[in-house]
Structure 1
Amino acid sequence: MSGLMGVKLRRDLRASWSRFALMVVALAVSLTVFGGLLLAWASIGGQTSGAYMSTEPASATIVLDQGIDPARMAALVEQTLKRPGVLRASGRTQFDAAVSIGGRVLSVPLQVFVAAADDPMRMVRFDLKGSWPPAPGEILIGGDSLGLLGVRPDDELTLTSPGGQPLRLRVSGTVYDPSLAPSPQEQRGHAFLSAASLRPALLDQLKIQVAEPGQRTPARDREQVVAAAGDVGAWLQRDLGLAVAEIQVPTPYAHPHQWQADVLLLSLMAGGAAALLLSTILVANMLNNLFTQHIPQIGIMKAIGASARSIRRLYLTMVLLVAAAATLLALTPATLIGRYLLETLLQILGIQSGDLAAPWWAYTGIVAVGLALPPLMALMPVLRASRITVRAAIDHRGGSEPSAAGGVLAGLGRMSWSDRGLLMALRNTVRRPARFWLAVGMLASAGAMFVAGMSLNSGTQALEEERRQKRYWDVEAQLDGPAHADAVAGAVRKVPGVIRVEVWNRVQIGLAGTGRLPFTRTYPDQGHGSVSVNTVPADRVSAPPPLLEGRWLNPGETGAVVLSQIVRDNAVPELGAGDAVRLFIDGEPSTWRIVGIVEEREGSGGGAYATAAGFAAASGQSQVVNQVRVITAGHDERTREAVAAAIGKSLTGAGIEVGIAASVSRTNAASAGHMGPVLLVLLGVALPLGVVGAIGLASTMSANVLDRTREFGVMHAIGARPKIVRRVVVTEGVLLALAGCVVAVIPALGLTAVLGAGLGNLFTKAPLPFQVSLLAAGIWMVLSVLGAVLATEAAAGRASRITVREALTYL
Structure 2
Amino acid sequence: MRPRWRKMARDLWAARGRTVAMIAAIALSVAAVTAFLAAASILSTEIDANYRAANPASATLHLTRSIGPEQLAVARATPGVTDAAARSTVAARIRVQGGPWQSLLLFVSADGDPQRVASVRVEAGSWPPPAGQLFLERTALPFLGVHVGDRVEVLAPYGRLTTFDVAGAVHDGGVAPADQERTVYARTTTAALAEMGLPTGLDELEIAVGGPGGPSGDAAQIEAVAQDLASRLGAAGYPTTSIDVPPPLRHPHYGQMAMVATSMLLFGALSLLMSSILVAAMIGGTLTAQIRQIGAMKAVGATTSQVFGMYLTMTAVIAGLATAIAVAPGLLLGRFIAGLGGSMLNLDIDPTTMSPLVIVVAIAAGVLVPVLVAVPALLRGTRRTVREAIDDHGTEPVGATARLLTVLRRLPLGRDTAIAARGLLRRPGRFALTVGMLALAGAGAITGLNTSIGWDRLVQSGLDARAYDAEVRFAGPVATASLREITDAVPGVSRTEPLRALPATVHGAAPVDVVHVYPDDAHGSLTMVAPPPNASFTAPPIVAGRWLRDDDMEAVVLTTLAVAQQAPAAVVGDRLPLTVNGRTSSWTIVGIAQEFGTQGTAYVTSAEFTAASGTSADAATILRLGAAGTTQADRSHALDGLTAVLDAKGLPVERAFTTDALRAALDGHVFVLVEALFVIAAIMAIVGLLGLSTSLSTSVTERTREYAIMRTIGATGGFIRSTVVIEGVLTASAALVLAIIAAIPAGAALGVFIGQNAFRQDLPFTYAPAPLLIWSLLSLAGAVVATIAAANRAARLTVSRALTIS
TM value normalised by structure 1: 0.93
Alignment match, 1:544 = 539
Alignment match, 1:249 = 245
Q: Does 1:504 align with 2:499?
A: yes
SS class of match (1:647) = helix
Q: Which amino acid aligns with 1:249?
A: V
SS class of match (2:537) = coil
**1:437 and 1:645, CA in 2 relative to 1: closer, same or farther beyond 3 A?**
same
- Does the aligned pair in 2 maintain the 1:111–1:188 contact within 8 Å? yes
Residue-pair matches, total: 800
**1:403 and 1:309, CA in 2 relative to 1: closer, same or farther beyond 3 A?**
closer
Which aligned pairs between 1:465-476 and structure 2 lie closer than 5 A?
Answer: 465-476=460-471
**1:571 and 1:121, CA in 2 relative to 1: closer, same or farther beyond 3 A?**
same
Q: 2:727 aligns with which of 729, 732, 736?
A: 732
CA deviations 1:780-811 (Å, max 9, x no partner) are 11111221112212222232233434544555
Deviates most, 353-362 or 562-571: 353-362
Q: Does 1:332 align with 2:328?
A: yes
Which aligned pairs between 1:5-404 and structure 2 lie closer than 5 A?
Answer: 5-64=4-63, 66-69=64-67, 72=68, 74-102=69-97, 104=98, 106-128=100-122, 129-161=124-156, 164-199=159-194, 200-212=199-211, 215-237=212-234, 239-355=235-351, 358-402=354-398, 404=400
**1:6 and 1:740, CA in 2 relative to 1: closer, same or farther beyond 3 A?**
closer
SS class of match (1:724) = helix
Alignment match, 2:512 = 517
Deviates most, 700-709 or 48-57: 700-709
CA deviations 1:158-186 (Å, max 9, x no partner) are 43456634444322111111210110011
Q: Which amino acid aligns with 2:733?
A: L
Q: Which amino acid aligns with 1:460?
A: W
Q: Distance in 2 between matches of 1:486 and 1:253?
A: 46
Alignment match, 1:630 = 625
- Does the aligned pair in 2 maintain the 1:504–1:535 contact within 8 Å? yes
Deviates most, 490-499 or 12-21: 490-499
**1:219 and 1:357, CA in 2 relative to 1: closer, same or farther beyond 3 A?**
closer
Gaps of 5+ in 2: none
**1:392 and 1:651, CA in 2 relative to 1: closer, same or farther beyond 3 A?**
closer
- Does the aligned pair in 2 maintain the 1:553–1:611 contact within 8 Å? yes
| Aligned-residue offset at 1:461 | 2.0
Which aligned pairs between 1:758-797 and structure 2 lie closer than 5 A?
Answer: 758-797=753-792
Q: 2:602 aligns with which of 598, 601, 608?
A: 608
- Does the aligned pair in 1 maintain the 2:560–2:600 contact within 8 Å? no
| CA RMSD, 1 decimal | 2.6
Q: Distance in 2 between matches of 1:498 and 1:57?
A: 42
Q: Which amino acid aligns with 2:33?
A: F
**1:408 and 1:740, CA in 2 relative to 1: closer, same or farther beyond 3 A?**
closer
SS class of match (1:487) = helix
CA deviations 1:49-86 (Å, max 9, x no partner) are 1111111111111222x2404xx2x3212111222221
| Aligned-residue offset at 1:770 | 2.7
CA deviations 1:228-276 (Å, max 9, x no partner) are 2233334433x23433332222222221112212111111111211221
- Does the aligned pair in 1 maintain the 2:138–2:171 contact within 8 Å? yes
- Does the aligned pair in 1 maintain the 2:545–2:591 contact within 8 Å? yes
Q: Distance in 1 between matches of 2:278 and 2:634?
A: 60
- Does the aligned pair in 2 maintain the 1:106–1:149 contact within 8 Å? no
Q: Distance in 2 between matches of 1:205 and 1:162?
A: 18
Q: Distance in 1 between matches of 2:408 and 2:249?
A: 69
**1:438 and 1:377, CA in 2 relative to 1: closer, same or farther beyond 3 A?**
closer
Q: Which amino acid aligns with 2:467?
A: Y
SS class of match (2:268) = helix
Q: Distance in 2 between matches of 1:362 and 1:515?
A: 45
Alignment match, 2:662 = 667
Q: Distance in 2 between matches of 1:559 and 1:712?
A: 83
Q: Distance in 1 between matches of 2:573 and 2:166?
A: 52
| Aligned-residue offset at 1:549 | 4.7
**1:549 and 1:4, CA in 2 relative to 1: closer, same or farther beyond 3 A?**
closer
- Does the aligned pair in 2 maintain the 1:398–1:707 contact within 8 Å? no
- Does the aligned pair in 2 maintain the 1:448–1:751 contact within 8 Å? yes
- Does the aligned pair in 2 maintain the 1:602–1:765 contact within 8 Å? no
Q: Distance in 1 between matches of 2:312 and 2:404?
A: 40
Alignment match, 2:422 = 427
Q: Which amino acid aligns with 1:209?
A: A
| Aligned-residue offset at 1:100 | 4.8
- Does the aligned pair in 1 maintain the 2:472–2:655 contact within 8 Å? yes
SS class of match (1:477) = strand
Q: Which amino acid aligns with 1:231?
A: D
- Does the aligned pair in 2 maintain the 1:135–1:194 contact within 8 Å? no
| Aligned-residue offset at 1:330 | 0.6
Gaps of 5+ in 1: none
| Aligned-residue offset at 1:105 | 6.6
Q: Which amino acid aligns with 1:17?
A: R
| Aligned-residue offset at 1:126 | 0.5
SS class of match (2:691) = helix
| Aligned-residue offset at 1:491 | 2.1
Q: Which amino acid aligns with 1:349?
A: L
Q: Distance in 2 between matches of 1:98 and 1:622?
A: 26
Deviates most, 792-801 or 390-399: 390-399
- Does the aligned pair in 1 maintain the 2:259–2:758 contact within 8 Å? no
Q: Which amino acid aligns with 1:524?
A: P
**1:559 and 1:718, CA in 2 relative to 1: closer, same or farther beyond 3 A?**
closer
SS class of match (1:744) = helix
Q: Does 1:555 align with 2:550?
A: yes
Q: Which amino acid aligns with 1:617?
A: A
Q: Which amino acid aligns with 1:667?
A: L
CA deviations 1:73-132 (Å, max 9, x no partner) are x32121112222212211111111123555x47321111000111111112110112222
- Does the aligned pair in 2 maintain the 1:245–1:509 contact within 8 Å? no
Deviates most, 128-137 or 400-409: 400-409
**1:570 and 1:4, CA in 2 relative to 1: closer, same or farther beyond 3 A?**
same
Q: Distance in 2 between matches of 1:723 and 1:708?
A: 17
- Does the aligned pair in 2 maintain the 1:97–1:659 contact within 8 Å? yes
Q: Which amino acid aligns with 2:496?
A: V
| Aligned-residue offset at 1:546 | 3.4
Deviates most, 264-273 or 637-646: 637-646
Which aligned pairs between 1:683-694 and structure 2 lie closer than 5 A?
Answer: 683-694=678-689
| Aligned-residue offset at 1:752 | 2.2
- Does the aligned pair in 2 maintain the 1:475–1:644 contact within 8 Å? yes
Q: Distance in 2 between matches of 1:577 and 1:304?
A: 78
Q: Distance in 2 between matches of 1:193 and 1:266?
A: 38
- Percent identity over paired residues: 33
**1:377 and 1:768, CA in 2 relative to 1: closer, same or farther beyond 3 A?**
closer
- Does the aligned pair in 1 maintain the 2:401–2:428 contact within 8 Å? no
| Aligned-residue offset at 1:593 | 1.4
- Does the aligned pair in 2 maintain the 1:130–1:174 contact within 8 Å? yes
Q: 1:709 aligns with which of 698, 701, 704?
A: 704
TM value normalised by structure 2: 0.93
SS class of match (1:469) = helix
Q: Distance in 2 between matches of 1:221 and 1:766?
A: 26
| Aligned-residue offset at 1:192 | 0.6
